[in-house]
Amino acid sequence: MDGRRRLASVFLGALLLAGCSAPASPPASETADEPNAGVLGAGEQLLEAGTYRMQPSNVLGGVAYPDFLVTVPDGWTSVDGWVLDRGPVAILLWNVHEVYGHPCSWEGTELSSGESADDLVATLVEVPMRNPTTPEPVEIDGRTGQYFEWSVPADIAYDGKGFPDCDAKPGEPHDFVSWTGLGLPSVRYHQGPGQVDRVWVLDVDGERLVIDAFSMPEATADEIAEIHEIVESIRFVDE
């Protein structure tokens, strides 16, 4: 399933789970310092507040990332070990492969994203139409990188299914895109005008890991604050 349809299924799945299943909870004995917290893997789970274990190596193109622990409030949904979703906000893990040189007229514009976190950030902030903030140094549990924000134009045409002025593959909606990924998340499609992405590009033990957390225009300040709390809670498991 491609990235656009996958994210659509996240939102639908969260609604279905909220109506028909009990939230998944971490083992009662687990804390953020213990490496055996409940693992977030295949499928969709509505989560209770607690600390969980994510295994990015299982979904991001076979790269040997370390597992990490992440602490979430009530109301978030895990999807297949690479998405944490709460309706108008979500947190996605990526192993970025190529960057689209233009997000709307994107056909044939794929660019190398280089090898390092700095290479990727330097490529991304040159993409037009995204209004990026100035990248800032960032550190998450000892892993360093860069952080910036960028957005989908608030006034871009959108018909409820796609962006009619943008490119499209045959038989597919017209899409506004950022990059391709290795592994399960294949293409970063965007979900509507005014969407804001908060992007952490980290060097994790010599491998580049991207955390892409988005908010839609209807997201509340509290929901956006939860994005930062969750990302800042990450603790890598060194084994």
pLDDT per residue as tens digits for the range 136-180: 999 999 999 999 999 999 999 999 999 999 999 999 999 999 999
Residue 125, sorted as left (phi over 0), alpha (psi -120 to 50) or beta, turns out to be alpha
Query: Residue 128: pLDDT band by 50, 70, 90 thresholds?
Result: very high
Share the mean pLDDT of the chain.
Answer: 88
pLDDT digits (tens, 9 = 90+) for 105-125: 999 999 999 999 999 999 999
Residue 69 has pLDDT above 60, yes or no: yes
Can you give the pLDDT at residue 11?
Answer: 41
Of the candidates 198, 231, 196, the residue with the CA atom closest to the CA atom of residue 216:
196
Decide if 199 contacts 149 (C-beta within 8 A): yes
CA distances (Å), origin 171, targets 39, 174, 181, 187: 37, 9, 22, 17
Please, what sign has the CA dihedral across residues 8, 10, 15, 16?
positive
- Does residue 28 or residue 109 have the better pLDDT? 109
More confident residue, 125 or 8: 125
- Strand partners of residue 177: 189
